[in-house]
Amino acid sequence: MTTMEVRTRESLQHKHTFGVACTAPAYAPIRSKEHLDTVGRVFEPHEVFILGGGSNVLFLSAPRKLVLHNQLRGYRIDEEDGNTAIVAAAGGENWHQFVRWTLEQGYGGLENLSLIPGSVGAAPMQNIGAYGVEVSQVIYDLEAYDLVRGEWRRFTPEECTFDYRNSFFKQGGKGRFFITEVRFRLTIFNHNLNTSYGAISKELSQRGITDPDPEDISEAVMTIRRHKLPDPAELGNAGSFFKNPIIKRAQFSRLRKTFPDMVHYPVSPKYVKIPAGWLIEQCGWRGQRRGWVGSYSKQSLVLVNYGQATGRDIWAFAQAVKRSVFEKFGITLEEEVNVVGG
């Protein structure tokens, strides 16, 4: 059993993708499951803050808690049966590297989720999604440590109560469950490929690919994302800052009379999804900068830190964006990032 290390006055600036300067009073890298048993015996859940890859968090102020940083590592193949493979990854693994590993094994299912920053453990919490696919569609189950009861628990997809960019772990289970492992149900052949969303089909066509495999789609997605989104290592950001709002068709019909070119995607007979990036761009924010904060020039949905922004600077910019969208369209944007502090 390895001893859990606790460090004081630990900088978090390079442990999250916004790159905001903040310092944790106490910090513990979780590199083995035994470390969580130690935490459960010594600390109460309200005394800890769980940090994964840091790709979806905005620190308005430093957490006044013990920061538990998920650094659990490892992949494995649990089962291959017919066309199905059950594969597992530890919660601290880099998400994109894991996706690439599954493709190297010849498995399909995660290709549309290539190049999304963050960790495996954070993927189900956020129910990450891109280009017509959500991770909840391929999750088999997951393992988490309950900091309240001090015990291990395995969750089925139904128990995770997945929703659009949401799950039980962002709601009732927030701060209570430390996700240690996620298992995925992937395909070995006869892959169910999704090429209809966004620019994937156009990118494949430009490459002369008419019969794509999962690797082809992954390469196309990576090309698209690199063109549209800034590299967090070069320009601090957390990807999409806001969720794409889902509104009633009646409201959409009224808006379309004023904005006939409004981009939308059907969700159900009663609801449609409006791209938040389109709304923000129509309000004139694309490429705009205020001090050290701005809206990215190639994708207005991405707010960026130009180097010395504080969390409150970014938050103030985001609220100005929200107000302008509401004033113009009557639509309230909801933050996708997890906001810490106040």
Sequence letter at residue 308: Q
Alpha-carbon distance values, 13 to 18, 64, 335 (Å):
8, 15, 21
36 φ, ψ (degrees, to nearest 5): -70, -35
Which positions are annotated as active-site residues?
165, 240, 336
Distance CA 340, CA 240 (A): 17
- Helix (H/G/I), strand (E/B), else coil: 288: coil
The SS3 of residue 175 is coil
Task: For residue 233, give the nearest of 8, 2, 13, 7 by alpha carbon.
Answer: 13
Contact (CB, 8 A) for 222 and 111: no
For residue 279, give the 3-state DSSP assignment. helix
* Tokens coding 193: 């490929």
Measured CA distances, 291 to 272, 288, 306, 307, 340 (Å): 35, 10, 8, 10, 22
Q: Is 55 exposed, middle or buried (0-12, 13-18, 19+ CB in 10 A)?
A: buried
In whole angstroms, how far apart are CA 39 and each of 66, 150, 175, 284?
10, 9, 13, 48
d(CA 307, CA 328): 31
